[in-house]
Each structure stands twice: as structure tokens, then as C-alpha cells.
Structure 1
């Protein structure tokens, strides 16, 4: 709208300027005509003077010729004035014709007096001619002065118009700069800010789209690119995080395996060296216990025998742990078995031991859940998990065992309502000899269970919300193909 107003104003100024230029052209033409008339009037005045002088000298021939020429010139000038009067009505045209008529009459009178001896009459007529020519000169000069004044006024107006044009030009240039800034520079600056935001990884930044043109299309494409880059970057970050976690777990598992292998070798050596003297002590103690006849001696020997058996159990666990680390159990891990039977067998054994102190509930397993592995080894894993859960649960607590099929895997969860586990202990629960039960246990139960599950191609994890919130152990094993009874 502002642009249309500026254009309309410039058109009006242009039309007005053109009209003034036409006026100047007309005034210059009129001035030229007046100059021609004045020049011819001066020539006529010279001829009139020459004719008068010839008449005064009595030179009839020269006076006659001069008068004839003067009359012809006057006639031509009068005819020219009549044509001008017919073409353009001017203020002084009538006066000029009247003056020329008077001059012509005076010349005719002077011509008639040229042959007489009346010098005084000739001079009188000559003075009349001079007076008439002076009037004609005055009129012509007034017309020239008027034309010059008009030209000067028009030139002054044109000077003003020139400044108006200059102002309009500056206005157009300023408006063009503003329009360029509004429609080009500012949107490009907004796009540049968006590019800086993308470089700063601000993928949620959007460029406002307020126009329907090429720049608006660029803004829409920029926003689409920002969204795609944000999605791609988030996807890459997620994949990197997953891979980093997998690498971290692999490195941790490798370090753990190396550590367990070293500990297993040491445990095997220690168990073998300790087991031999323990065996000798146990045999001698049993023999002495059978021959002892004093009660106090029998009690002491019984205590020694009990502690020897306890030490032998510890060394046996060490040997079992070492064999698991070195893969020398000799058991087949390809035996097809129903895991629900193993779970129920382990639950019944723990129920007998826990009695009424802890409730143990089994969920799932109503139909066979098939997997491959060593039933005795998996039973040992479940016994360890159930005993730990039962011992961690106070009187009246509950242990829930859930057996389910999870896609290509089978899953066993042992959840208790017991004491819970501190977050600082969770990463170390599968380390050998690490225990949260001060003065109880060897810290090998979970380490052995972890090794058995890994040997079966499964995973075992422990989670807890913290002390007093209970804990949950999840064991995942590969699922075996179901039996086809039609075969």
C-alpha cells in the first residue's frame, strides 16, 4: 500500500513537471517571436529615419524608394501580427496592430509630402512616426519582459521540482532499503540465527514462517531439516548409549571373568591343600569320638567333628566354584528339561527348611517350560536364590517365585519382602567371597549361581529399591523347542 502511494505521487510529480516544461517551451517560443518583432521594428525605425532624411534633403527618388520599402515591411509586419493574433490571443496584439496602422498612415502622409517644400510638415510627420515606433518598442519590450519573467518563474519552479524529485528519489531509495531490509535482510538474519542454533545442537529451534514466497519455502525446509536432524541425532545418541552400555557390560564381564578365573585357581589350590589335613582330622576325631567314655570329652570331640565338616563344606564349595570357572563339571548342558519341575522341587526343599516362618508362593509353571541344561546345577541355583530370599525375609514375610515364557527365553523371578539391598552393594553381589551377612556364609553362593547361569547361556540380575524394600532376582535362560507328541 505504501509502495502504491509512493508510485502515484511520483507519477503526479512527473506529469506536473512535464506541464511546466511545456510551458517553458511555449514561453521561449513567444520570447523568440517578440525578439523578432523588436528587431524588425528597429529596422523599420531605421528605414523611417532614412526616408525622412531623404525627404528633408529633397531627394525624391531615394525618398520614394525608401518609403516603398518601408510600406512593404510595415505591411508584412502587420500581416504577421494578424496571424499571431488569430493563432494566440495575447494582451498586446491589438495595441501593436493599432500602432502599426498609425505608422502606416503617417508614412503615407510623409510620402505625399516628400515632393513638397514643406520641411516643417515633413518633420512633424517624422516625429509622429518616431512616437508611434516608440510606442511599438514599448509594447514589444513589455511583452519580452513579461515572457522573461514567466520563464524565470518557471525555472524557479523547476528548481523546486528538482529538489522535490531529489527528495522523492531519496524517499524511494529509503523506502526501497526499508523494504529490502524487511523482506530480504531480516528473514535472512532469522535463517542465520537458526543456523547458529543448529550448530549449537538446539534442534528444537524453529524459524517463523510468515510469508508465502521463496524465503517462506526456505524457512519451511529449514524447519523440516531441523526436525530430521534432531530425530537423527537423538537416534544416534540412543544407539551410542546402548553400544556404550554393551561395551561397558562386556568389559565388566571380561574383567569379572578374569578375576574369577584367578580366584578359582587360587580356591582350587587352597581347597585341595586344606581338604587333606581336614580329612585326617575328621577321621581321627570320629575314631576318638567312638571310643570316648566321658561326656565332656564326647561333647568336645563332637564340636570338633562339626567344625571339621563345616570346613569340608567350605572347601567343597571352593572346589565347585573352581570347577565352574574352568568348565570341568563334566555335566551335559544339552539335556532337555522342564524348568517348572526343577522350580517346584527346589521350592519344596526350602519350604521344609523354612517351615511356617516364610510363605513361598509359586506363580506360573502350570504347563511345561522347556530349556536345555544340567538339572542338578539349575536346582542348585534356585536353592541358593530361595535360601537367600528366605533368610532375608523376617517372620511372616513372603517369597514369590514367578515362572514365565518370554519370547525366545524362559524367565524365573524370585522376589522377597525382606531387608532389601543397598545400592552400593548391588554391583558386587556376584563377586566371590562378597557377602552382606556379616559372620554368615562364605559369599560363594551367588558367585557359583552366576557362573552356572552364564554356562547355560543365560543372564542373572538383582534389583532392589533399597534397604527395607525387598529384592528381586531374575534368571533368564534360552527356551528349548517343545516336544511334538505326534513324532
Structure 2
């Protein structure tokens, strides 16, 4: 509040000082000008009166009727505002005056009525302007008077008259001096001055009040609104709005402040949203890292195990071939005891099973390079289904195909992916021994094509869900080698894709295979 008041006080103090000085100068100049005009008008009036006196007494001067001349001058001198009228000759002797006390007195060259012509050096002037012939003076009572001297020249009508005794070579016959009181006129100047001062003070007060109100309305109030807006922002209130409807610079400043507040509010909301989802993002990223680490570890285990089992499988394959060949030949001997033949058949059957396991080990350990070409993934899925859907395992299973018909063609190895889908379908059918539904969905998202295979079987327990892609791990008691999903995982990975599994025990399992639209190995 102190800052706001000091701004208003300082601003109004400067404006008030400027107005006061301006008005003061204006009053002084106008009063001085009015005084000069009044004096100039009074001078012209006095000169005009002198001329009127001379003209009205011209005949008396020609006839040397001094009695009538003096009486007429006395009548004029009795008028209000005239101090005195006097006549004196070129030697300064007062020959007539309405003030009888100065009759016969001699005026010096420096007297007020003589000094305008009698300069300090040189002869006296024969002519002087009206302004030079006028003078103002103050008497003993402090009253101001204006005196005007009027020369009476020796005209031809004067020195040719029978009554006059002035010789023709005389230039000046005498001086008429008229003194007027300036009291009433200067009083009018004082009245004008006082009126002007009062009017100026009133105008100054009105201007000051108007400036105060306008400044407070158009400057101080908007500035206070901006300061209040800033205070609310400093307290964290980002819903604050500077309520200024003006269309001037302060209005634009308020609009800019409101726009800045809106951006700050949006930024804070965005930060709040990021903070709210940060934990979820961290958890999601941690889970992704854990899955990547598990995938990397699984790939390393598969690679190491593949080399191991390939060597073991080669070593086992030769003895198994001999056992299978000799047991088959021995079982075909006619004279062989039936019991022995049955035992040999059992040996042959188990040997064939071991040979199948060895072939699986060889396939697992052999690094297969995909033979890629462009094909539609829906067609690959249909081919895989055609290989298995007529088997006894699928007798009580209903198959639903939900294909996206606008999938782009992918550059893949269709035989390897067909092997993956067959393996998935057989695993799903084995999980639905009492029948169920097999649902296959295909769609695209961003840069991927996704295939989801869901069954309504028994599901996979959560404690072993993360191990199903490990080699030789199986949930089947007497079936399988535990290599199917491991091989499928490797094939999808070689195509730049990934396999995700979601399962609920007792409700079913869903495998989702993601393949990139463009993958460069």
C-alpha cells in the first residue's frame, strides 16, 4: 500500500508543481500585460484630453483672452480623476495651474515635466513622442498619477495675430501639463489580478482533482490490479485474473499477465499429471527393463544350451539308430517268442521316441536363418490351422477367426512362423481336453502387426508363468520335451518381434505375438 500511495503522491506532486508554476507564470505575465495596457490606454486618454483642451481653448489663445482660457482649464481640472492642469513657458515658469500654490514657481530642467525634452547633453528636443512625454509618479499620500506634457508650438496663426507678442522665430510658446489619477484604473488592474488569481486557483484545483481522478482511474487502479494479481501469483493462486478492461497499454499488459498465468497453470497441471503418473511410468519402465533382462538372459541360456545339446544329440543319435535298427530286425524274426517280440516292440517304440527327442534337440541347437519373403500374416495363420484343425485334439474345440483384412504384407519366413502357430495351436488344444474355444485376432498398431491366440483352457499357474519359455520346461506330465515354446520364442525373436503371455488359472491363456512392419536383421 505504501508503494501505491507513494506512486500516486509523487506523480500528483510533480503534476501539481508543474501546474502551479505554469499558472503562476501565466498570472504574472497576464497581470503585467494588463497593467501595461492600462497605462498605455491611460497615456493615450491623457494625451487626447490635452489635445482637447488645446483645441477648445485655441480661440482664447488667439485673442489672448486669458481669463476665459484659465476658467475653461479650471472647469476641466475640476473633473474627477484629474489632479491638476498647469501651463508653463519654455523657461519653466508656471504661468497657470489649478493648484494655486505653485503659480509663479520655476521648474528645473530635471523636473518631471521638463526632463523628457531637456536631455543631459545637447540642445532640447523640439519633438517627443507621446510615450516619451508621459510619466507616472506617486505623491506624498502614496497615490499614483500619470502626467502628460503637451507642447504648444508657435504656429503661423499665433505669430501673425494682432494680439500676440511672440516673434516668428520662436518655436515653442509654452507647455500644457495634465496630471491624471491612476487610482481607479490601477484598482481595476488589481481587481483583474485578484479575479485572475482566484480563477487560476479554482482551475488549478479542478485540474488537480481531474488529474487525480483520471490518474487513479486509468493508471493507479490498473497498477493496483496488476500488483494484486502478482501477489496472488506469488502465493500460488494460478486461477487469478487481472480484471482490467482497458484497451490501452495497461490493458495489453493485463492481457499478457493473464496469458502468462494461463501458461503457468497449464505447465503446473502438466507437471502435476507427470508427477501423478511418474510412479506408474517408473514401474512400467522397471517391468520393461526386467522383461528385457529376462529376455536377454533367456537368449543367452538358449544359445549356450543350444551348442551343448547339439553336441550331445549328435553323440546319442548314432547309438539310437543302431538300437532302433537291430530291435526292428529282431522283432521281425518269425520263431521269436511272443513275449520277447512284445518287449522288442516296446524297445523300438521307446527308441523312436528318443530319436524324436534327439531331432528336437538338433532343431533347437541348430541356428536357423529365416528365408524371408513378403506375405500376409492372415494367410500364414490359416495354413497353420489347416494342418491341425482336423486332428482329434480339435474335435470339441470351436475356432473363431477375427482377422483385420487391411494388414500390410510382412517380410517374414512363412515356414518358421507356421511352425510357431502350429505349436501354439497344439498347446491350446492340449489345454482344452474337454473342449472349448480358440480365438485368433490380428490387427495393427503403429509400426507393428499383432497376432493374439487365446484359449479357454485350464490356464497356467502364475508361479510358473515366467518359466514357460525356458528350454525343457513343460507343464505336461508325460508329453513333450519342453522345447516347443523355446523354439517359437527364438523364431519370433529372429524376426525382430516379441511374445507376451497372459494367463488366468482355470480361465485360459492368451499369447500375443508382435511382429514389426519393417525389420532389418
Which TM-score applies when normalising by structure 1? 0.50
Per residue, is there more helix in 1 or in 2? Answer: 1
**Where is the strand percentage greater, Structure 1 or Structure 2?**
2
TM-score by length of 2: 0.47
